[in-house]
Amino acid sequence: MNKRIELGQTAPDFRLPDISGKNYTISDFAASPLLLIIFSCNHCPYVQAYEERIKKLQNDFRGKGLQIIAINANDADLY
């Protein structure tokens, strides 16, 4: 899909696996009042530099309803 999503527009649903192979959809996070979706690339040094900060952000704001999803654009077999 190559469609730009405008600010405030509802995100399209997706079905993607996590690192254990369990599939998730955006609907699985519907109860989260604040959902942050990050598109990352785990071999990028900038992404690696921010990984711990992202984890801390999730831990610090989980109680306020924040849920972070990081979608890795890499090939699962190569990275």
pLDDT tens, 14-33?
898 888 889 999 999 999 99
Across the chain, mean pLDDT equals: 88
Decide: helix, strand or coil at residue 21: coil
Helices (H), the chain: 45-61
The residue ranges of every structural domain in the chain are 33-79
Q: Say what the alpha-carbon torsion angle 13, 18, 21, 25 is, to the nearest 10 degrees.
A: -20
pTM of the predicted protein model: 0.76
